[in-house]
Structure 1
Amino acid sequence: MLRWIDFVGRHATKFLFCGVLVGLAVPPLAALLRPGLVVFLLLPLTFSLMRLDWSAFHAYARRPLLILPLIVFLMLVCPLLVFAVLKPFGLPQALSQAIVLMAAAPPITGTVAISLILGLDAALAAIVMVICTALVPFTLPPLALALLDIEINMSLAEFMLRLGAMVGFAFGAALLARRLMPPGWLARNYRLVDGGSVIALVLFAIAIMDGVTAKLLSQPGYVILATAAAFIGNVVLQGFGYLAGRAVFRLSQPAAVTLGLLTGNCNMGLVMVALADRAVFDMVVFFAMGQLPMYMLPGLLEPLYKRLRAA
């Protein structure tokens, strides 16, 4: 089993690429795994925090004048810009709303794991992802109401409590694991941890596909449109984040590529939890299909990421 997990860690991007399609191909498996969505969200974050270079994390934490503008860019500038850009396109209302909500969501927890796998700035990814996740109760509900006339079916206190509990659990579990592990174990077995992250990410992607295959068979045109919008939105936001990182924030190449990943890969799972039963299924379909670029593009674009990182 350990050798198999190590193998997954060595070929992480390939497993992400292929594994995300399983939920569509095997609908009963997606329905079976659906109750574990929260667990599958937390595991990659916990594993990534275990692997994190905490000295680099603390270095970023002491630079609020760098971090705070990045938070404002991700949580406010991006959704407002996406809302303005989408207006002339005349997309279906549910799809347009879902895209704006995607841009308003914090980065996925798996961004830290992907940054580690690709050799990018995982410390920057971790601190930005954690702060954005903590702030999203203050930013996403007002934006959803002001821009899209959607009311979040959850009190602010409850939303904050859920997010705080999830992030706090991941930090606590990672700290405990690091204390219990023998010295040097993580350095020798980092691929096992990466493999565990990849497996959890794939399980989440399978679970979120529950019901999407039936929608694909009944309304293939809408699902294809949602999938195309997800890929285009992810790539455009990644490119926008990278360019902003270099031209506006003057980040290093690895940090700018990391900001691109953070900008394009948004935690739509949290949005689904926040909307609860207020989300029409057409929006849920976009959130599900949005997993495809998040899991496929790291493998497809890995040579480009490495080229940019080394430039």
Structure 2
Amino acid sequence: MIRLLDFLGRHATKCLFGGVLIGLAVPPLAALLRPGLVVFLLLPLTLALMRLDWGAFRAYAKRPLLTVPAVAFLLLACPLLVWAALAPLGLPQPLTEAIVLMAAAPPITGTVAIALILGLDAALAVIVMVLATALVPVTLPPLALWLLDIEVQMSLAEFMARLGLMVGVAFGGALLARRLTPPGWLQQNSRLVDGASVLALVLFAVAIMDGVTDKLLAQPGYVILATVSAFVANLALQVLGYAVGRWIFRLGQPAALTLGILAGNCNMGLVMVALADRAVFDMVIFFAMGQLPMYMLPGLLQPLYRRMAARAIPV
């Protein structure tokens, strides 16, 4: 197991790239892993919180003039801009609705692990992700109803309780683990921790593909359209997030790239839960295929991220 985790830590982005395809290629494995979705979702966040520079986190927490506008940009501006951009394109209605809901969702918990792997601003990723996740029950339902005439079938109290429990478990687990590990252990075993994060992310990606292969064989044209749309939407939101971070919020290169990753990699799993039986088949397909760019693009774009992070571009 140590050798496996070390290998995953050394080849993180490549393993994420290939691992996301396993669920499509081996449907029985996806069905087997499906019950562990919540664990696979929370483990990367917990491990990232264990390694977090809490001094940097507290520094961002003391900068509400940055964190509050960043969260508002992700939860409000992004879905409104995406809705306006999609209006003239004439895409199938379920696909348009799914893309807008993707933009309205908070960042995935895995963005913290991705930021760490790419050497970006993990502290910014944590605080923005946590605040956005906590506030999305207040923002997503009215946006879904106003923009798309979709009524989310879950009370705000229940949604907030579920999200609060998930985030609380991750924070509590991270704090407990930091107390139990000897001083310096995390620094000495950082590659193994990265490997554990990658393993959990891959298992999540496999599990969420349960049932998707059959749908792919039944409606290949729509699945291809949904997949292409997911890549385009992810990249467009990343570019938008980077531009806003760099030239509106005046962030440095690593922080602006981090905001781009937060904007493009959205927690569509939470949206599926919120929609319950209102998530029609074509929307579910987009949410599932939307995992592909989230797992493939970090590997494909890793050299670009790192070159941009090291460059001093004038604001």
Fold shared by both chains (TM-score > 0.5): yes
Mapping of 1:63-212 within 5 angstroms? 63-212=63-212
- 1:10 to partner: Cα distance: 1.1
Q: Deviations over 1:147-182 (max 9, x none)?
A: 111111111100000000000000000000000000
Structure 2: segments with no counterpart, 5+ residues: none
Distance in 2 between residues matched to 1:194 and 1:282, nearest whole Å: 34
Distance in 1 between residues matched to 2:303 and 2:29, nearest whole Å: 32
Distance in 1 between residues matched to 2:124 and 2:10, nearest whole Å: 23
Q: Which shows bigger deviation, 7-16 or 35-44?
A: 35-44
Distance in 2 between residues matched to 1:118 and 1:45, nearest whole Å: 16
Distance in 2 between residues matched to 1:39 and 1:140, nearest whole Å: 24
Mapping of 1:206-245 within 5 angstroms? 206-245=206-245
Distance in 1 between residues matched to 2:39 and 2:4, nearest whole Å: 21
- 1:273 to partner: Cα distance: 1.2
- 1:2 to partner: Cα distance: 1.0
Aligned to 1:43: 43
SS at match of 2:292: helix
- 1:219 to partner: Cα distance: 0.7
Amino acid of the structure 2 residue aligned with 1:80: L
Distance in 1 between residues matched to 2:23 and 2:3, nearest whole Å: 25
Distance in 2 between residues matched to 1:113 and 1:131, nearest whole Å: 17
Amino acid of the structure 2 residue aligned with 1:274: A
- 1:210 to partner: Cα distance: 1.1
SS at match of 1:88: coil
Distance in 1 between residues matched to 2:99 and 2:192, nearest whole Å: 34
Amino acid of the structure 1 residue aligned with 2:126: A
Distance in 2 between residues matched to 1:241 and 1:132, nearest whole Å: 15
- 1:12 to partner: Cα distance: 0.4
Q: Deviations over 1:214-236 (max 9, x none)?
A: 11111100000000000000001
Aligned to 1:59: 59
Percent of pairs identical after alignment? 78
TM-score (norm 2): 0.98
SS at match of 2:151: coil
Aligned to 1:302: 302
Amino acid of the structure 2 residue aligned with 1:121: D
Distance in 2 between residues matched to 1:285 and 1:211, nearest whole Å: 10
- 1:32 to partner: Cα distance: 1.3
Amino acid of the structure 2 residue aligned with 1:198: V
Does 1:264 pair with 2:279?
no
Distance in 1 between residues matched to 2:34 and 2:96, nearest whole Å: 25
Distance in 2 between residues matched to 1:167 and 1:224, nearest whole Å: 34
Q: How many residues align?
A: 311
Structure 1: segments with no counterpart, 5+ residues: none
